[in-house]
Structure formats: structure tokens, C-alpha cells
Amino acid sequence: MPVRRKDDTIPDEIALVCSAGDIRIEAAKADDGAETMPRFSMVAYTGEAMKVDGWKHPVVVDLAGLAIPSQRRPVRFGHDMNAGVGHTERVAIDGGRLVAEGVVSRDTSAAREIVISGKRGFPWQASIGASVAHAELIRAGKTVTVNGRTFDGPVYVAHRTHLGEISFVDLGADGSTSAQIAAKQETIVMDDSNTNATPPNAGTDSTPTVVTAAKGDETPPIQAVRKEAADELRRQAGIRKVCGERYGEIAAKAVEEGWTVEKAELEVLRASRPKAPGVITGGHDVPSAAVLEAAVCIAGRVEGADKHFAAPILEAADKRFRGRIGLQELLLEAAWANGYDGRSFKADMRGVLQAAFSTLSLPGILSNVANKFLLDGFEAVESSWRAIAAIRNVQDFKAVTSYRLTGGFEYLEVGPTGELKHASVGEESFTNQARTYGRMFSITREHMINDDLGALTAVPRRLGRGAALKLNDVFWSAFMNNAAFFVAGNKNYAAGAGTALGIDSLSQAEELFFNQTDADGNPLAVDPMILLTPNALFVPATQLMNSTELREDTGGVAKKFPTSNPHAGKFKVARSSYLSNPKYTGNSTKAWYLLSDPNDLATIEVAFLNGREQPTVESADADFNVLGIQVRGYHDFGVALQEFRAGVKMKGEA
């Protein structure tokens, strides 16, 4: 947990105990009645401001910028990596909340405590652990709108975060929850005395927590005790059977620490496996997952590694690996963390991979590392589209309809009766729809044998670049195919030699913009803010905006003319290489645009599924026919032209 600061320095980690920590634990039953892994579901974060240790002011995590590296995130108790509980199978942003579902897949004392205490009615709460890539302090007297809510400063807004893990916690800042056991029902419900009330402290867990026990009538306490004792006898008998006389020490440890029969059998298999030659004896200090991630990022030279990791993590990674960790060493470290005792990757590659992937840490490390390099590549590509596009959050892949700024919303005088007239939305509309784009790659057996760390660094970076290029391709294809959008009939288009970029044509474009009206003939009352140009016009446009005076060559003829520049500093210049690229319909080296601020009125819109603007990265064991690890990246977005009145196009030539 970061140390509390006295100034306004922004930390780079969050361990956030959330309000509305709805948690459901279910001891599932298979079809044959045998008990399987218990399942849980929870609301891990509600989008509210929370008081977090190490942060001077309350913190709001912007869900639109929360990166979820994979659906399989580790679940722990109290953010302790040595107190594993299980893993998630689904993590999503739903209705402005972060929700998670998964299984209690770890066989630890913490996991057993969570399940048993949950069945008995203990009000577990949820907490998320995330690293912060970018945060902003909103100072006192200012407001900010995040997650569909408005917050007053001082408050931190974590605009870009990366979800690490989710934890069960036993106590948030609110102790007002109470337990009620419903007789002869499946559920034990813990309700706040007033779930609709605003929590008294912004770090509380104040909404209902539900723990679902196994199906059927309540088991009387004495029968439950007897069944528990019988299950324990069966467990010990199974352990003694798989361990036999040869592995008595493993059997004793398994009984003492509450291992399952399956875990004891796995330990016996490991103990019976032939050891590779040249084993180094003595203990091995296994670094944390965060240190391993940082080491790979340092070795791969990811841009801004100091933004992804806390200083102590970076120092530990540099001290341990000196910027030279390889792919084989990473896999060995993950295997050692799970009890593997060999020291050679090539001597026992199968054993190393089995041990490495038998813990949830390695897939998480691979996903996190790949995500950082993917984002590195994604953010290195031109992103001029952001300057001119409105951004929308959509919840699914269905087409969404929005109405243009044409309705009659001008206020009318209220008569003596006090009756207000209804505004009409209007009939002009446009649609947008998110679609999925993606690619995948494999870290193969050949990469592992060659110790090719580039498979984990350079390949995801190229994959991120590919994602950004696809977004640009879809965006500019839609924007530049505007022959029916920017037309004289819409009063937002002009052609002719006089439209070449200059002081007079800029004045003409501004007047054309100002003369725009809505469908009822009323002025839009919106100002142009952005001057968009192709590469060839970027320097002249910049000169027009930065020069306070302009002089004219009169050919030696004495002539009076004004020298002040009426447009100096008036517009923000944006440039895109796509505007003049011959691959795209409507390309031109001379055409330019004058556009409004997309937050006021937008010519074009980009819709992102669940507000996620960056690609998603996930890793998993490879398919049976591939020896290695598979990593996939995908991006859900849609692009559509919007309001033709939000800009004007100047052809720049006759």
C-alpha cells in the first residue's frame, strides 16, 4: 500500500475498497451431486469517489479508462498475493459498475475461510487493486464529470488504470451492515439498513451482500458438524493413499495444511520426477509478479515504464535482473514461484511450463506485459482523430441512433397557468454501431528455446500499432468519404481558386460556418475551433495561427494595407497524413476543414464498447496443436459521420 503523502503528489497504485460491494458465493453442485468449485459474483467498484490510503483526497477511477488485461484475474484476500482465493472468469463494466464473476479455485486457508465464513453469513466486501498510468487532481472549486456522475474538487480522477487483482476484504470504512438468516431458504442476505442512502463516508461498503449456500433445506448444526468431520476423514484417507509410505512427509504436510487430495497427488508427482543435472541447492528468493512485469518492460524498453510501476518495484527489478531478463528466465521464475525446484529450462521444458502455468500468476504477467507493449505501440501512432471526434460509450453491438441538433429546444415563455411546452427531438438522425477488430499471435516452442523475449515485447508492440492503424483506417475512411456530407446544398462547402488556404479564404470559411442554421432557420450559435489540414498545409496553417501580422508583396508599388492578422491564435491546428493519402476516397493535398469543438457539436463520432478506448489483450495456453502460449488483441469500436452543420470544407482549388 503506498505511503500517505502530505502534498498533492499523485501515487501510482490503488487498493480501493468499494462501496456497493455486492458479493455472492455459491457452493455449486455437479449433476451427480458431487461438490465442485464454489462460485462467486460481486460488484467490485461502483464508480463513486473513495477515500484511499496513500491519496490525500478522494479518488474516482474512470471506468472508461480502466484496462482489463484479461478475463482471468487473480482473486485474493486483503490484496495479499500469498493469500490466494481463486480467479475471475468474467470481468466487465456493466451499468457504470465494475462487476466480476469467478470461482474459488485456490486451495488455501484464505479460500476456505472465505467460503465457510460466507456460508455462515459473514458480510464480505470487495476491493480492487490497480496500477495508475495517468491521474489528475481536480482542485477545490472545480467540478468534473466521470462515470456519469459529477464530483466536486478536491478529488483525484484516475483516467488510465490497469486492473491487477480483486480481493475479498473483511472490513471497509462502513460497519453498518447487518446479517439476517432466512430459514429454509438458499440465501443468507446481509442488508444495509438503508441501501438507497448516500454512504456517510466515501470509502464504505453499504449495499447488500448475498451469500448463497448449497441448494436444499438448511442442514441442522449437528449434522453439519458430522458431515464436516466425515469429509475430513475422507480427505486424510485419500492423502495417505496417494502418498503411501514413501512420501510420508508430504502426507503429514498435506494433512496439517488442509491440502486437497489432488494437490497432494500433484506434489507426489513432482517429488517423483527425475531431477535435472546440476541442481543448485539452497533457497531462491522469488520476486513478485509486479517485479517480473517491470523487469520485462525494462528489458523491452517500454515507453514510460515509470508510469506503470512504483519506484520500489522498478528498483527491485533493476537490482535483480539488470535489464537482461529473458523469456526462459521469466518462465523459470513463474515455475519456481509454484514450487518447481529445477534450474534448467531446456533440461525440463515440459516440467517448467506445467509448473509455470499451474498458477494464475504467469497468465496474468503475460497479459499485463503484452498489454503494456501493445499500448506502447497503440499510442505511438498518429491520433489526430481525437481532436475532431466525439466519443460515445455503448453497451453492446446493436446499432444506436442519435438525433441531430435540429429539434425545437428554444425556451418558450411560460403563461399564467405555469404549463411548460414539450420540446421536439426532430427527425434528422444518424446511427453508429460498434464492431470487433482483432489479431492474435503465439509465443511458440521455438521462441522459448531461442529465449526470444521479443516475442513478448516487439510482437505485442506491433499488434498495438496494428490496432491503432485499423482505428485510423476506419475513422478516416468514414470522414473522407464525405461527398454527400460537405456539399453546397448543406451550406458547408466551397470551391474555387479563392478557397486556397490563406487569410481571405479563412475569413470566408469562418463566415460560412457562422451562417449555418438549424432546420428551423435559427443560428447555431456555435463557433469554429479546429483548423484541420493535410500535411502540405500544416506549416502555412501554423504560420497563420502564430503570426500576429502579415505583409503583402506589392511588386514595388506603393500601397497601404493592414498588417494585423485577425485570425492569430483563433483556431487549433490539427493535421492528418490520411487526408492526402491516395488510398482513401476524397483525398486531397489542398482541401482543408474548419470544425467546431466535438464536445459542442461533432462532425463525426467514435463509439467504444463499454467506453474502452484501447485494445484488450488476453493470453492463454495454446491450442493442442500449438506448442506455446497464445496472446490475442481485440478492439471494439464503430465510426459514423454525425452533424454536417458542425464544420465546413474548403476545396482549396477550382
From 574, 274, 319, 627, select the one nearest 447 (Cα to Cα).
627
Instruction: Assess if residue 370 is contained within a domain.
Output: no
Q: Would you call 355 exposed, middle or buried from its count of C-beta atoms within 10 A (0-12, 13-18, 19+)?
A: buried
| H or E element at residue 270 | helix 261-272
Q: What is the CATH number of the domain that holds 438?
A: 3.90.1690.10
Does the pLDDT of residue 194 top 70, yes or no? no
For 503, other C-beta atoms within 10 Å of its C-beta total: 15
In this prediction, residues 159-184 reach a mean pLDDT of: 55
SS3 assignment for 364-379 = HHHHHHHHHHHHHHHH
Does the pLDDT of residue 210 top 60, yes or no? no
**Confidence band of 302 (pLDDT split at 50, 70, 90):** confident
**Confidence band of 207 (pLDDT split at 50, 70, 90):** very low
Residue bearing cell 434528422: 428
- Tens-place pLDDT, residues 501-541: 999 999 999 999 999 988 778 888 899 999 999 999 999 99
CA distance 347 to 344: 5
Does the pLDDT of residue 628 top 80, yes or no? no
Residue bearing cell 467506453: 611
Domain with 242, as residue range(s), is: 219-272
Higher pLDDT pick, 199 / 130? 130
| H or E element at residue 634 | strand 628-641
Same domain, 572 and 608: yes
Do 63 and 609 meet the contact criterion of CB atoms below 8 Å apart?
A: no
pLDDT at 631: 74
Q: Which residues contact 159 (CB under 8 A, 6 or more apart)?
A: 62, 65, 134, 135, 136
Does the pLDDT of residue 387 top 60, yes or no? yes
Q: Directed axis angle between helix 327-337 and helix 289-299, to 10°?
A: 180
pLDDT at 183: 24
Does the pLDDT of residue 415 top 70, yes or no? yes
Residue type, 207: T
Dihedral sign for Cα atoms in the order 605, 610, 611, 615: negative
From 369, 604, 361, select the one nearest 464 (Cα to Cα).
369
CA angle 548-553-554, nearest 5°?
125
Q: Which residues contact 253 (CB under 8 A, 6 or more apart)?
A: 259
Instruction: Assess if residue 358 is contained within a domain.
Output: no
Same domain, 181 and 254: no
CA distances from 583 to 33, 481, 486, 579, 588 (A): 62, 12, 20, 10, 11
Same domain, 622 and 610: yes
pLDDT at 290: 81
**Confidence band of 649 (pLDDT split at 50, 70, 90):** very high
Do 240 and 253 meet the contact criterion of CB atoms below 8 Å apart?
A: no
Instruction: Assess if residue 371 is contained within a domain.
Output: no
Residue bearing cell 483506417: 473
In this prediction, residues 95-106 reach a mean pLDDT of: 85
Same domain, 33 and 114: yes
pLDDT at 482: 95
**Confidence band of 433 (pLDDT split at 50, 70, 90):** very high
- Tens-place pLDDT, residues 537-559: 999 999 999 887 766 655 665 55
In this prediction, residues 261-277 reach a mean pLDDT of: 64
- Tens-place pLDDT, residues 31-66: 554 456 788 888 888 888 887 766 788 888 888 888
Q: What is this structure's pTM?
A: 0.53
CA distance 504 to 172: 64
Does the pLDDT of residue 422 top 80, yes or no? no
CA distance 97 to 134: 20
Q: Which three cell numbers stand for residue 53?
A: 490510503
Residue type, 464: G
In this prediction, residues 333-346 reach a mean pLDDT of: 78
**Confidence band of 646 (pLDDT split at 50, 70, 90):** very high
Do 1 and 167 meet the contact criterion of CB atoms below 8 Å apart?
A: no
From 516, 490, 528, 520, select the one nearest 409 (Cα to Cα).
520
Residue type, 138: I
Same domain, 391 and 454: yes
Instruction: Assess if residue 376 is contained within a domain.
Output: no
pLDDT at 338: 72
Same domain, 208 and 223: no
Same domain, 128 and 226: no
- Of 116-120, 216-220, 294-298, 418-422, which range is least confident? 216-220
pLDDT at 403: 67
Tally the domains of the chain.
3
- Tens-place pLDDT, residues 561-600: 556 788 889 999 999 999 999 999 999 999 999 999 998 8
Same domain, 469 and 532: yes
pLDDT at 493: 97
| H or E element at residue 467 | helix 454-480
CA distance 170 to 193: 19
Higher pLDDT pick, 528 / 165? 528
Same domain, 433 and 484: yes
pLDDT at 481: 95
Instruction: Assess if residue 208 is contained within a domain.
Output: yes
Q: Directed axis angle between helix 261-272 and helix 248-257, to 10°?
A: 150
Instruction: Assess if residue 207 is contained within a domain.
Output: yes
- pLDDT over 90 for what percent of the chain? 22
Domain final position from 272, 298, 314: 272
pLDDT at 204: 32
pLDDT at 609: 93
Domain final position from 184, 216, 248: 216
pLDDT at 186: 28
Phi-psi map region of 589: left, alpha, beta (phi>0 left; psi -120 to 50 alpha): alpha
Same domain, 156 and 233: no
Same domain, 198 and 159: yes
Of these ranges, 78-92, 175-189, 615-629, the one predicted with the greatest mean pLDDT is: 78-92
Same domain, 131 and 54: yes
CA distance 198 to 204: 10
Residue 257: φ, ψ to 5°: -95, 5
Mean pLDDT of the chain: 76
Instruction: Assess if residue 280 is contained within a domain.
Output: no
CA distance 284 to 280: 10
Q: Cα-atom radius of gyration of the chain, to the nearest Å?
A: 31
- Tens-place pLDDT, residues 450-469: 777 777 777 788 888 999 99
In this prediction, residues 625-645 reach a mean pLDDT of: 82
CA distances from 423 to 410, 414, 509, 608, 623 (A): 8, 13, 32, 29, 57
pLDDT at 360: 47
CA distance 602 to 528: 11
CA distance 185 to 212: 9
- Of 6-10, 175-179, 520-524, 631-635, which range is least confident? 175-179
pLDDT at 191: 30
CA distance 204 to 21: 9
Q: Would you call 568 exposed, middle or buried from its count of C-beta atoms within 10 A (0-12, 13-18, 19+)?
A: middle
Instruction: Assess if residue 521 is contained within a domain.
Output: yes
In this prediction, residues 216-242 reach a mean pLDDT of: 70
Of these ranges, 14-28, 114-128, 162-176, the one predicted with the greatest mean pLDDT is: 114-128
pLDDT at 208: 31
